[in-house]
Amino acid sequence: MSGKTGATVKDVPIDVFIAALASHLKKSGKIQLPEWHDIVKTGTHKEMCPQNPDWYFVRAASLARKVYLRGGQGVGLYTRTYGGSASRGAKTERFHQANKGIIRHILQQLEEMDLVAKRKDKKGRWVTKNGQRQLDTIASQIARA
């Protein structure tokens, strides 16, 4: 990274960036946790709700990163991205999609924060100029550290 003044989301490790963005979203207070966040499962393939108390902020950070890297995707594609194999006992495992309501709710809150937006001429959600600036700022802080 010698000679660069800043870094983008692509330049930093995924896990470090998502953790930093999740803590930023939690500190900002702009994302309100829904009342059902502690009892909901993230998909039908899961047996229990998430054990991490900050899972909602982590999922929001992960979604923001995915929209940044590849815009134009809708809620349906993200349900397949966050889905997984469901254990069916003695039968073979099958793929199940993630919960659409959670993903839709998070994307709506990211829209209220002006990180992502719907475009009239294209489908799906896209990162805004403000969102790109905020995410790149966090990435450059990680790259400097």
pLDDT digits (tens, 9 = 90+) for 86-140: 998 999 999 999 999 999 999 999 999 999 999 888 889 999 999 999 999 999 9
Return the exposure string of 46-60: e unless at least 16 CB atoms fall within 10 Å of the residue's CB, then b.
eeeebeeebbbbbbb
Tell me what the mean pLDDT of segment 17-30 comes to.
93
Q: What is the pLDDT of residue 120?
A: 86
Q: What is the pLDDT of residues 30-80, one digit of tens each?
A: 898 888 888 899 888 888 888 898 999 999 999 999 999 998 999 999 999
Mean pLDDT along residues 1-23: 83
> Could you give all domains of the chain from N- to C-terminal order, each with its CATH number?
9-144 (1.10.10.10)
Residue 5's pLDDT band (boundaries 50, 70, 90)?
A: low
Q: How confident is the model at residue 3 (pLDDT cuts 50, 70, 90)?
A: very low
Tell me the angle at which helices 100-112 and 55-69 cross, rounded to the nearest 10 degrees: 70
Tokens of 129: 């100029």
Cβ neighbour number for residue 145 with a 10 Å cutoff:
8
pTM of the model: 0.89
Does position 26 have pLDDT exceeding 60, yes or no?
yes
Helix axes 55-69, 14-28, angle to 10 degrees: 120
Is the pLDDT reported for residue 1 higher than 50?
no
